[in-house]
Structure 1
Amino acid sequence: MFEKVNPSHPDKVADRIAGAIVDLAYEIKDDPKVAVEVLIGHGSCYLIIESDINFNYFTKEIRAIIDRITDIYCSVEIICVQQDVHLAENQDGLTRCGDNGIFKGVPITDEEWRLNIIAHDLYKKIPHDGKYILDNDKLIICQSHTNSNELKKLYPNAIINPLGDWTGGLDVDTGATNRKLGSDMGQSVTGGGLHGKDLSKADVSVNIYAWLKAQETGKVVELSCAIGDTKIDGKPYFEIVDIAKNYINKIGGFEKFAEWGLIR
């Protein structure tokens, strides 16, 4: 049983905005420290950014990111604060784990992969808010901006828009960062969130590492860490960060990562 949402779902819009701001942080400086929370919907967008970068100087760039990703005009409120001094000192001079955490990487199932393909196929045809569930042979498609009867021709055995045709998007719903981790990770588990954070954060790097190792080995990978750790799974933490960095670079950055998550 698996649920997948597409990049125009309001929660994914929030993830994408947060990811784009992390991309911006890496453009501004090497090895930035940043954590972004986004709440968006009904014409408003609220951001809280904790960072060693003063994003008060980059509000124009942030506004441009929001305008580019969203399909409605939003009033924007941005709160920028410096990273906590104790957390900053923990990271000074050495690549250490930036947080406590638990992580479980699980190989993708055939069911998850099947629904992922359906979600991508639908999004190419209809690039609007949509969410999908596959439970054995039971397929549920909730796709906005479409004619349910036409969609029924493509998926004759699916349950399509049970309440009827709908518009979806940020005029109908709100989105928040890291609220669709099941869509992003499948059966994998994390104690934190994947999006809106730099690579020093275990929520990003260790999750990516555990997930990649699970796909490579075909086995469940379970890891935990404490803030300040310099080694996880027998590897220096900087190696895990490098593995995650290569993955993020390969798919095109943090915003691209936020579109579909790990199951992409």
Structure 2
Amino acid sequence: MARQSYLFSSESVSEGHPDKVCDRISDAVVDLFLGEMPEARVACETLATTNRVVIAGETRGPDSITPEKIEEVARNAIRDIGYEQDGFHWKTADVAVHLHAQSAHIAQGVDASGNKDEGAGDQGIMFGYACNDTPVLMPAAIYYSHQILKRLAEVRHDGTEPKLGPDAKSQVTLKFENGKPVACSSIVLSTQHLDEDLTSEDVRGIVEPYIREVMPTEWLTDDTIWYINPTGKFVIGGPDGDCGLTGRKIIVDTYGGAAPHGGGAFSGKDPTKVDRSAAYAARYLAKNVVAADMADRCTIQLAYAIGVSQPLSIYVDTHGTTKNGLTDEAIERSIAKSMDLSPRGIRETLQLNRPIYARSAAYGHFGREPEADGGFSWERTDLVEALRGNA
């Protein structure tokens, strides 16, 4: 039986974290291609360091997308995040673009031809997860870690807190009793600040009210331990302080360690890449299973082979929380009947061939609100009736 009383921690990083700067640029490039050609192929990686950005990878898309356009997209992303510092500035950073054509040998396995349906863009395993810890059916520790940083970014962008910088990390440790979060054991926050004279106590005075805004009031008690900028000053931040790379924050992007991860990053990949699209589908399915009150927790694994359209396996684990006489096997059968899990089927169901990805690069790909233009479509709960009917 799973433990019922324990401490569990998850971390998040802000949009100005060096790795997230790279994720944002890579996803902005994906959006650029999909905006001009919905069937474009993109595998874009970004590296960022002191006043230098390197963009590399493989693409297949219209000739109208030039290196100059890609450079402009990168600069706009850096400006939107808020970097105008001597060591990293959207206007003065050197941006090098090294994108080239997609391998024909990969394309032949992925593209539809003759009687062959489009295949997966690679082999791999992808996981989805949902639980009823929070209203958005996400694990609580990662959800509140994101919310803290998202709120601090809002007050930085709107000018309420001009002393805060773009780079930040949070970590929330929660106490669980009877399998449910009941209190916050500790909060860790390290945030860049633009005033060199600020002490850790000064920074705590700035950020604590916003942290209290987003955390459940009853979870913050006299026993909660606060670590705010515990190393002291944090003025040099972003890629000037630490080199960034696309795809290094995959646990931040997903479930904060509360569920397995297949290992593939999301950012910089068009939705033919099942690393991205099938992970979104698995979250969509797991969330709908929990929303349908079929289980309190649900982990789903999907497995694919390059060039093969249908998943090799569908695995469900509800961690002993199934309801109404259901079994994990019954939920597996229902999933197979309720959604076409081929790469094409996933993209069409979730309408993924749209420029909706740059917004997902920070504060988690999951637990967000579905948006009118199709952003975060995998967070919808419109499969509930189908899953119940097919169980």
TM-score of the superposed pair, with normalisation by structure 1: 0.90
2:277 is aligned to 205
Confirm or deny: 8 A CA contact 1:55 1:80 kept in the other structure.
no
**Structure 1 position 245 matched with structure 2 position 344:** no
More helix by share: 1
- Distance across 2 between alignment mates of 1:118 and 1:57: 37
Post-superposition Cα deviations, 1:47-106, rounded to whole Å, max 9, x if no partner, equal 112012377951111111121122213212221221111111123234321111111212
- Which secondary structure does the structure 2 equivalent of 1:25 belong to? helix
Kept in 1, the 8 Å contact 2:71–2:97? The answer is no
The 1:259–1:56 alpha-carbon spacing in structure 2 relative to 1, beyond 3 Å, is: same
CA contact (8 A) 1:54 1:80 kept: no
Per the alignment, residue 302 of structure 2 pairs with 223
Which segment drifts farther, 187-196 or 230-239? 230-239
Counterpart contact for 2:282–2:301, Cα < 8 Å: yes
Query: Paired residue for 1:101?
Result: 124
Determine helix, strand or coil for the equivalent of 1:48. Answer: strand
TM-score by length of 2: 0.62
* CA distance in structure 1 between the partners assigned to 2:65 and 2:39 by the alignment: 19
CA–CA separation in structure 2 for the residues paired with 1:207 and 1:200: 12
SS in 2 for 1:14: helix
Q: 3-state DSSP class of the match of 2:193? A: coil
Aligned residues: 261
| Alignment check: 8 A CA contact 1:8 1:169 kept | yes
Q: Does 1:143 pair with 2:191? A: yes
Moved more, 151-160 or 92-101: 151-160
Residue 149 of structure 1, CA deviation: 2.3
Q: Secondary structure at the match of 1:129?
A: strand
- Structure 1 pair 157/55, CA: closer, same or farther in 2 (3 Å)? farther
Cα displacement string for residues 234-264 of structure 1 (whole angstroms, at most 9, x for unaligned residues): 3341221224435x85xx7111111233234
Flag as ranges the 4+ runs of structure 1 deviating above 6 A.
none
Deviations 1:104-161 (Å, cap 9, x if unpaired)?
2122212222222222222212351100111221110001116432442326841000
Find the aligned partners of 2:228 and 2:63 in 1 and give their Cα distance: 43
- Counterpart for residue 50 of structure 2: 42
Question: Which position in structure 2 is the counterpart of 1:64?
Answer: 72
Residue identity (%): 26
Q: 1:159 to 1:20 in 2, by over 3 A?
A: same
Letter of the structure 2 residue corresponding to residue 118 of structure 1: I
**Bigger-Rg structure (1/2):** 2
SS of residue in 1 equivalent to 2:108: helix
Partner of 2:135: none
Q: CA deviation at 1:16?
A: 0.6
Instruction: Give 2:107's match in structure 1, choosing from 73, 85, 88.
Output: 88
For the residue of structure 1 that corresponds to 2:34, the secondary structure is helix
Cα contact 1:49–1:78 (8 A) shared by 2? no
1:23 equivalent in structure 2: 31
2:53, 2:93 within 8 Å by CA — same for their partners in 1?
yes
Name the structure 2 match of 1:196.
268
Query: Could you tell me which amino acid in structure 2 is paired with residue 47 of structure 1?
Result: I
Residue in structure 2 matched with residue 10 of structure 1 by the alignment: 18
Q: Within the alignment, does 1:178 sit opposite 2:216 as a pair?
A: no
Report the CA distance shift for 1:80/1:113 in structure 2 as closer, same or farther (over 3 A). Answer: closer
Distance 1:123 1:207, change over 3 A: same
Of 150-159 and 223-232, the range deviating more from structure 2: 150-159
From 350, 362, 381, the equivalent of 1:259 is 362
RMSD, aligned α-carbons: 2.2
If asked which structure has higher relative contact order (CA below 8 Å, sep 6+), I would say 1
Alpha carbons 2:110, 2:306 under 8 Å: kept:
no
Preserved CA contact (<8 Å) 2:146 2:363: no
**How far apart are residue 18 of structure 1 and its match?**
0.3
Q: Secondary structure at the match of 2:172?
A: strand
